[in-house]
Amino acid sequence: MRRRILFTVEKNRVLVPVGQPCPFGCRYCYTRGGEVGLSRVNTTDILSHFQRFAEETPFETIQFGYDGDPFADPERGITMLRQLAMMGKNVNFSTKARLENSALAALCEIRSQMESTDTTLSALVSLSCWDSAAIVEPHTPSPYERIVTARNLKKIAIPVFIAVRPVLPHISDDEYERIADEGINAGCDGFILGPLYSDARGQFVRFIPPAALAAVRSKKSVVSWSAHSPTWTRYEDPDRLQKLLHMIERKGGRTFLSSADAVALAHQRQEVVA
């Protein structure tokens, strides 16, 4: 078991799994092939193994939730976050869940505890399309609900970044404009754009019209951010990426190509305020 719970430091951060299959079922989800770790691991195994890793390895940020959504099961997410928050690191979590009431109250408490130890809690709220969500993310909280989450997190002073990843080749720029407008209106702190990945079987990209996919530049390589080092094909159109970055910046949004940079900014801002 322990062999499959792996951690690695990349850009001063370490990814920590949720350890539970995600029920949201986004069609581009790369966790389905099992290449980024076991699909079911209990929280004690993850946290005890991670604690040992953190004691022996220098890094600054914990990124929670690359193998699933920490708040698909809010009780589990909060339980794990409470423990991660006590490790003296900045903590970032990513979610597509609608966060309200008790989960929000718990996050507010965790944020304030972390602030007292000069560490920062920040969030990534993921949006890859708007009008097409019912087809691309049929069992996932709607884009509107995710914007509610972003607003709610901002109300309790948690920095929020909109993760626009993967950028999908067949989704029109209009949908990305809508995401930019909604994110900026919600007060988000920036947007992180990222590529689409496919495994050797092509199962994460099967829903994309083949002609649209074929038109995008692709490269097969080892995925650097995963401790499990899968070899996947990365799809990214550099011209479209630049166009989307400029569109967001024109509207007044800050842009990033890595969540590590976004989290670092959130922490610097907190240090300035303190």
CB of 205 to ligand SF4, least distance (A): 13
Beta-bridged to residue 121, according to DSSP, are 91
Which residue number, 80 or 265, has a Cβ lying nearer to ligand SF4? 80
Give Cβ neighbours of residue 116 (< 8 Å, ≥ 6 apart): none
Which residue number, 19 or 119, has a Cβ lying nearer to ligand SF4? 19
CB of 24 to ligand SF4, least distance (A): 4
State in Å, rounded, how far the first CA of the chain is from the last one.
42
Q: Are residues 32 and 204 in contact, defined by beta-carbon separation less than 8 angstroms?
A: yes
Which residue number, 69 or 182, has a Cβ lying nearer to ligand SF4? 69
Which residue number, 22 or 62, has a Cβ lying nearer to ligand SF4? 22
Which residue number, 19 or 68, has a Cβ lying nearer to ligand SF4? 68
| CA gap 4, 9 in Å, rounded | 16
Which residue number, 119 or 152, has a Cβ lying nearer to ligand SF4? 152
| CA gap 144, 204 in Å, rounded | 24
**DSSP-derived pairing of the beta strands 13-16 and 61-64:** parallel
Q: Are residues 73 and 103 in contact, defined by beta-carbon separation less than 8 angstroms?
A: no
Binding site for ligand SF4 (CB under 6 A): 22, 24-26, 29, 31, 68-69, 96, 140
Which residue number, 29 or 78, has a Cβ lying nearer to ligand SF4? 29
Measured at the CA of 51, the angle between CA 57 and CA 66, to 5 degrees, comes to: 85
